[in-house]
Structure 1
Amino acid sequence: MSNAINVKRAAVASLMDQLRADVTEKKLTPQEELAILEKLKVYGRTVAGSDAIYSSEGIIFLAEVASRPDNPDSSREALRCLANALYLDRQTVQYFIDAGYVEKASEAYKSENVDDEFLLGRILFFSTTFSKDDKLLDKWVNEHHLVENNIAAIARHATAYATAASTASSQAVSMMQTMALQDTLKLLYTLTTKLPDVSTTLGPTIPHLLSLLSSIPLQSSPLQPPTHHVLDALSNIPPTTPDSQASYFPTSDPTLHVSKILKILDKAAIPATSATSSRSTTADDFDSRAASLLKLLIEIYPPSPDVVKQLIRDTLLPSEKERSLPLGSQNSATLPARLLRLASSPTTTNTRIILQTLLFVISDEDPVKFVKNVGYGHASGYLMMRGIPIPSEALEEIAAESGEEGGSGKRINPITGQYLDDELKAMEASNVKGLEGMTDEEKEQEAEKLFVLFERLNRTGVINVENPVRTAMQEGRFEEIKSDNEDSDDDDNEAGKGKGKAKA
């Protein structure tokens, strides 16, 4: 193995020497120079044995070749060598930056040739991502038009994709153009994470990004690139300015863009199947890529017009019809049910909290509304994590008063979110006794269990609400009965306090 590496090292060094010699001797034809660079590109796909490429001198020399305007083919091949090197060895990024070639790449990035855009966009993405000097980034932006050229590239892609969508031609956008778009979007994402005042600096990209989102067909795996990269960028540019909000919510159709975003979420939100312990590919895709999509909806909701807010709530929150089953039931395939399963799944490690945050935000960040919208079982963990007290009224059985908009007046189990009538019917169908089928002694035992449970939870700080059994006793809904056997255990003493017979 070491001998093969040495042979490769010598071959790479020889090729680099031939290129250096030609700078003064000019013996190579453009075709010969291109052939040498193509060989270097192949060798440079692995670091071992490619010392002459990965050294500071090698990177600087290739950058110089890439900057020559007289032979575009050789220039692009040198850029390919550089892109491979910067990807495989981060130290080469610093060599490239220190030599001042990011400035030249930023200027050249204005090229409308998609091959140039792809290569320069990738090199600039690595340079901006791994640069440790924010002052240099400011210089690239303010003196060398990095942001300006990035926005212009995105605008060109938006026009091309819109044209393709309007003509329904799958061939209108080439594979090379799609690859160039992806690297341009990755560069934009880095800029959104590093530049100050992102809303002002990069806000002009929003209409182009939304146009792209509207034009890109909905894929079977909807969070694949370039859609994923568009969402990444949008999620980092808050719609805080009047112009950006006008782009998101056009007067002619305020729901236009949000509807597409919700369609992407609907198609992407597929939980892992309950039949197996392994996760499905789609579920993995959601957890690894959906954070930006969910964050974007969180950013969009507060400034949205009422009609858009209503659309988001209607799409993401369980409807009254869904309360015939426990909210998030495996037997329901609706988007709200799937979201609740994803939000409570131990496998969604990347998106679980942000998904719960989204549901809380569209509940107007009101814990009572949140519990009523998704059920205490789904809401309690998030509220406790945030240190938000759970008001006692959130656990009342009546969740949708008949006087409330859209309310049915039916009693709802606050834990599961299911109508109590439907819950009792399900219990009866499975031969599980409801209250109506219990003897007085069985009701007393259930009351004791419930009393002890709430007292324990209150003591541990899990919840801080009035014990509903104690409340029922105080309101006269239980009749006290004497216990013949008092146990000295604390829990049994507490249970003794709660013993009683439920009034009919």
Structure 2
Amino acid sequence: MTDILRSYTDLSSSSPRFQVAAVLQSIINALPLTFDQSTRAALVRLLLRDLRTSSSKSRLFHKDAALALLALKTLGRIPVGSEPLTEASSLRTLMELSSSLYKDDRNASSEALKCIANTLLLYDYARVTFISKEVGGGEFCASLLEKATTSEQLFTLSRIMFLATASPSSLILTLVEDKRHGRTIIDVIPTKIDMVLSSVLANKAFARDAMSELLKFSFNLLLHYPKLYGLASPSSRGQQDFQSSNLDGLLPSLLRVYRSLPRTFPIPLVPPLTHAIHALVTIPITHSLISLWLSTTRNSTSRQLRSSHTPRPRSSSTLDRALNVFTAGRRSLSISSNSPASMVGNSHRDIVVRTMDLLEIVFSFHFPSNSNPDSREIREAFKNVLAGSGMSTDTSLDELVSPLLLLCTRICMMDHTSRKRVREWIIPPSLDRSYPLDERDDFLGRCIRLLGSVYHTRLKASVGEMLYAACDCDPSILSSLVGYGHVAGFLFNKGILSAPPPPSTDPHSSQRVVNPITGTYDTMAQNGMNNSIVEMTEEEKEIEMDKLFVLFDRLDRSGAPPTNQGKAVHSTVKSKRTPK
């Protein structure tokens, strides 16, 4: 709208401040499509120039900066016309404003950073400009991140750092390897995570958002740095997998977040927990880290965080009902006698328990009872819950749950003890196999039904890999425990084209024979037919013999069996029917 542009250009240093505020407020309140491309671009350039030269002799004074930056942020939310914000000079101006206004006007300083964050979100190429030597935005925000003390500051700065590290670049190497004030970014992030975690548990504003952005930033470092390190390190060239201990410092804080975050409604698996899982699955399994992964000791930070947590009041929901079922029927792996429901919201001592608790709750919530995972009702229910959760409507169950299954798979790969615990939790030695496994309403039944899913292809593969890892990556053990018929498709995709031989040691504790195809008790047990014949009376044997005689007589007349064989069988049956 040219009227607003004209009103702004008519302002001068002698204009009353209320008039300046009114014009800026009109920009803020304008509808998104009020300005065309040229008008929006002109306003953006004017605001940037006036903010850069703000003084008592310019159109904008220092005290107008907060409102002017808010107007600039509002204009920058629409890509068409806000391209001037992507220029190096504009990004430098916003950085300088954030730094100069920090002491006198924290709100104005924050608005300048939000303008940068919005620009990097809307324009991919602006991220390259931002981290270039000409601008130096990455190092600038890393220094501010180290000084940040509030969740709102950490949210904005972490969002900027997440966007700035979305693609591999030399900035990531600099952040991880170069020290600022004696610390690298790997030393800074854990302290900020612990700071925000206490705010999350206390339900403070911006805390969950700040935690999500911190974890996403950590994920980028974990994802990109190993390869960049391998390319930059002469000793690592030629290797396909690059590992570096420079990132090890992130693991303890990520585990604290994963163990401590309380459950959420209505969906049990939402950010920032999902981001913690994404970050954890990128950390390699090395001998030096296994002790940290499997540590059952709660450190002092966890105790302090729990003491500051005020439990939320319970509300009736589908998740509560799932938890009730889960608590009643769960085979606990925990050393303590606490139920899973009472453990949720506290720091779990054991990552195996935490992971299996989450899997049980998530599967019970999204695939209730013994429902078909491919049914329309399941998909519609997920869409309805997703709509009220604030998560992206493009999110699928595959995207949401598969990383948790992948984390469980990695836990199984760590050591034999964890693998055995997971296997016996899913398929306990005392499992009742008297009815089909794919009709069970527990975690095992849901996994088996997902193995036959057509709609959830990624989830199907993730479930198969988890079961395979829990069974020592041995197809014979897997087939014997759940039945080859249920895993035939999964094993076929792994290049195993036929039923594997039985394992050298019987994994079943029951003395009853288990059908190798279905995984249930075999109704025709070994020697079962002979035993039934022995238990028959003489009269019953005669009746069965008559039936056989009639059948063979029909075959003999039809000419189906060979002549010699037919006569031999006929004479044998007839001789047995003749009383001695």
CA distance in 1, matches of 2:434, 2:57: 84
**Residues 195, 263 of structure 1: alpha-carbon distance in 2 compared, 3 angstrom cutoff:** same
Counterparts of 1:16-35 in structure 2, within 5 Å, are 16-22=48-54, 28-35=60-67
CA RMSD of aligned residues (A): 3.6
Which digits, 9 at most, give the CA deviation of each residue in 1:170-208, with x for residues without a partner?
Answer: xx2313121111100000111111112656223222222
Pair 1:341-2:386 in alignment: no
Partner of 2:164: 127
Larger mean CA deviation between 357-366 and 196-205 belongs to 196-205
CA distance in 1, matches of 2:246, 2:153: 24
Counterparts of 1:293-304 in structure 2, within 5 Å, are 293-304=404-415
Which digits, 9 at most, give the CA deviation of each residue in 1:197-241, with x for residues without a partner?
Answer: 656223222222222222211234221011111111111113424
Partner of 2:41: 9
Pair 1:108-2:219 in alignment: no
Aligned residues: 419
Which digits, 9 at most, give the CA deviation of each residue in 1:287-324, with x for residues without a partner?
Answer: 11222211111111233462x43331122236654422
Equivalent of 2:89, from 47, 57, 76? Answer: 57
**Residues 37, 422 of structure 1: alpha-carbon distance in 2 compared, 3 angstrom cutoff:** farther
**Residues 417, 387 of structure 1: alpha-carbon distance in 2 compared, 3 angstrom cutoff:** same
Is the contact between residue 479 and residue 500 of structure 2 (CA under 8 Å) also seen in structure 1? no
Partner of 1:140: 175
Counterparts of 1:407-446 in structure 2, within 5 Å, are 407-421=509-523
Larger mean CA deviation between 46-55 and 225-234 belongs to 46-55
CA distance in 1, matches of 2:290, 2:149: 26
CA distance in 2, matches of 1:264, 1:481: 65
Is the contact between residue 97 and residue 109 of structure 2 (CA under 8 Å) also seen in structure 1? yes
Partner of 2:68: 36
Equivalent of 1:218, from 247, 263, 274? Answer: 263
Is the contact between residue 429 and residue 508 of structure 2 (CA under 8 Å) also seen in structure 1? no
CA distance in 2, matches of 1:301, 1:340: 18
Amino acid at match of 1:370: L
Structure number with larger C-alpha Rg? 2
Counterparts of 1:265-304 in structure 2, within 5 Å, are 265-269=359-363, 270-271=366-367, 273-274=371-372, 276-277=375-376, 279-282=379-382, 286-304=397-415
Pair 1:94-2:128 in alignment: yes
Amino acid at match of 2:398: D
Equivalent of 1:74, from 83, 108, 111? Answer: 108
CA distance in 2, matches of 1:104, 1:3: 33
Pair 1:117-2:216 in alignment: no
Larger mean CA deviation between 108-117 and 52-61 belongs to 52-61
Is the contact between residue 63 and residue 96 of structure 1 (CA under 8 Å) also seen in structure 2? no
Q: 5+ unaligned residues in a row in structure 1: which ranges? A: 165-171, 424-436, 445-479, 487-499
Is the contact between residue 318 and residue 373 of structure 1 (CA under 8 Å) also seen in structure 2? no
How far the C-alpha of 1:156 sits from its partner, in A, is 2.2
Secondary structure, aligned partner of 2:109:
helix
CA distance in 2, matches of 1:160, 1:174: 5
Partner of 1:185: 215
CA distance in 1, matches of 2:116, 2:518: 57
Equivalent of 1:315, from 425, 429, 439? Answer: 425
Is the contact between residue 481 and residue 508 of structure 2 (CA under 8 Å) also seen in structure 1? no
Equivalent of 1:250, from 266, 273, 296? Answer: 296
CA distance in 1, matches of 2:167, 2:58: 36
How far the C-alpha of 1:2 sits from its partner, in A, is 9.8
Secondary structure, aligned partner of 1:354:
helix
How far the C-alpha of 1:407 sits from its partner, in A, is 2.0
Partner of 1:367: 475
Is the contact between residue 165 and residue 171 of structure 2 (CA under 8 Å) also seen in structure 1? no
Which digits, 9 at most, give the CA deviation of each residue in 1:248-305, with x for residues without a partner?
Answer: 2326988722111111111112338439435144497541122221111111123346
Identity %: 24
How far the C-alpha of 1:28 sits from its partner, in A, is 4.0
Q: 5+ unaligned residues in a row in structure 2: which ranges? A: 1-32, 227-241, 299-333, 336-348, 384-394, 526-543, 562-568, 574-580
